[in-house]
């Protein structure tokens, strides 16, 4: 319930901020003889549809698959050791040695899994950040070259005319740079 109230509160704050921004924009436009050009960008669409972002994700996916293969190999080794321990007489000296080796291998598997997971999360965050920085640079250049007064992210808007959407233009520029 608290999460829903917090989400509702954040939504209301966002709507209020948007209304204030629009009111300010209208005030500036009314008092200014300058043209006021607004653009809307859908970052999620850029991440889904641009060739450059897809290529970066493909590289990440290959790395993910190779790390999964390492984990699978280690998991198979632990499973084989576990079978070996189960098939060994518990009273024999070899059972204790095999059990200790199994415990050590299992500990290493858990550590490897968490290390690889952390590495992948870090790489994903770095990749996403790099894409955002590249897109932000494109937006800044487009803003100055085409005299935009305001460019907003689509998910922060309640509604906007399709004519304001410049996402496809940004995707073309981004893909051309890569």
**67-118, pLDDT tens digit by residue?**
889 899 999 998 998 898 888 888 888 888 888 888 898 899 899 989 988 9
Q: What angle do CA 147, 152, 154 make, to 5 degrees?
A: 135
Mean pLDDT, all residues of the chain: 84
pLDDT over 80 (residue 132): yes
39 has pLDDT over 80 = yes
Task: Print the SS3 string covering the chain.
Answer: CHHHHHHHHHHHHHHHHHHHHHHHHHHHHHHCCCCCCEEEECHHHHHHHCHHHHHHHHHHHHHHHHHHHHHHHHHHHHHHHHHHHHHCCCCCHHHHHHHHHHHHHHHHHHHHHHHHHHHHHHHHHHHHHHHHHHHHHHHHHHHHHCCCCEEEEHHHCCCCCHHHECHHHHHHHHHHHC
- Asked if pLDDT for residue 134 goes beyond 60, the answer is yes
Q: How far, in Å, are 25, 71, 103, 111, 159 from residue 13 at the CA level?
A: 18, 45, 53, 42, 16
Residue 173 has pLDDT above 90, yes or no: yes
Answer yes or no: CATH 3.30.910 is held by domain 37-177.
yes
**What percent of the chain stands above pLDDT 90?**
31
Q: What are phi and psi of 116, to 5 degrees?
A: -65, -40
Residue scoring higher pLDDT (114 or 34) = 114
pLDDT at 49 over 70: yes
User: pLDDT tens for residues 8-32?
Assistant: 666 666 666 666 667 666 666 655 5
Per-residue pLDDT at 97: 87
Mean pLDDT of 112-136: 90
Q: Which residue has the higher pLDDT, 2 or 25?
A: 25
pTM strictly above 0.85: no
Tokens of 134: 């590249």
Half-sphere exposure of 171 (CA within 13 A, CB side): 18
CA distances from 99 to 72, 77, 110, 111 (A): 21, 14, 17, 18
Between CA 20 and CA 148 the distance in angstroms is 19
Contact (Cβ atoms closer than 8 angstroms) between residue 37 and residue 146: yes
């Amino acid at each position: 319930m608290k999460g829903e109230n917090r989400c509702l509160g954040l939504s209301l704050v966002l709507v209020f901020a948007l209304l204030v921004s629009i009111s300010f924009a209208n005030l500036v436009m009314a008092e200014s003889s300058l043209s006021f050009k607004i653009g809307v960008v859908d970052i999620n669409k850029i991440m889904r549809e641009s060739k450059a972002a897809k290529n970066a994700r493909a590289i990440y996916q290959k790395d993910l698959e190779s790390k999964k293969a390492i984990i699978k190999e280690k998991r198979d080794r632990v499973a084989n050791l576990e079978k070996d321990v189960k098939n060994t007489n518990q009273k024999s000296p070899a059972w204790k040695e095999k059990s200790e080796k199994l415990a050590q291998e299992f500990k290493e598997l858990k550590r490897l899994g968490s290390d690889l997971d952390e590495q992948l999360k870090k790489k994903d965050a770095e990749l996403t950040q790099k894409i955002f920085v590249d897109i932000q640079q494109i937006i800044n250049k487009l803003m100055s070259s085409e005299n935009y007064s305001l460019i907003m992210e689509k998910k922060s808007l309640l509604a906007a005319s399709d004519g304001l959407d410049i996402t496809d233009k940004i995707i073309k520029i981004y893909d051309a740079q890569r």
